[in-house]
């Protein structure tokens, strides 16, 4: 999902739906709504599935970090080849 967030034309919600985690993901995100949010570790632990959300968010952050650095490396060192690769992907 992290890679989908930085890839143009691919929705993170679509990837979440494909991997059957969309409903749980939306439930976790909606908990942080300003109207519902109450900062208490008991409330957070009760309403958020930490076994699901912690690995998901760590994986998303890791994927974004690695993908951004890879894209930066490719643009810096292989600009022409990277443009060709992107052009082929867009066809």
Give the rounded percent of residues in the chain with a pLDDT score beyond 70.
Answer: 97
Handedness of CA 29, 34, 38, 41 (dihedral sign): positive
Pairwise CA distance, residues 83 & 30, whole Å: 38
Say what the pLDDT of residue 6 is: 82
pLDDT of residue 90: 79
pLDDT digits (tens, 9 = 90+) for 47-87: 788 889 899 999 999 999 999 999 999 999 999 999 998 88
In whole angstroms, how far apart are CA 69 and each of 6, 60, 62?
Answer: 12, 14, 11
Can you tell me whether residue 34 is helix, strand or coil?
coil
Distance CA 10, CA 37 (A): 29
């Amino acid at each position: 999902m992290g890679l989908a967030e930085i890839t143009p034309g691919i929705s993170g919600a679509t990837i979440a739906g494909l991997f059957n985690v969309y409903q749980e993901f939306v439930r976790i995100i909606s908990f942080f709504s300003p109207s519902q949010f109450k900062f208490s570790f008991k409330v957070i632990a009760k309403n958020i599935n930490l076994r699901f959300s912690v690995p998901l968010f760590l994986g998303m952050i890791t994927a974004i970090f690695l993908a951004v650095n890879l894209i930066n490396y490719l643009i810096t060192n292989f600009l022409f080849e990277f443009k060709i690769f992107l052009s082929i992907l867009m066809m």
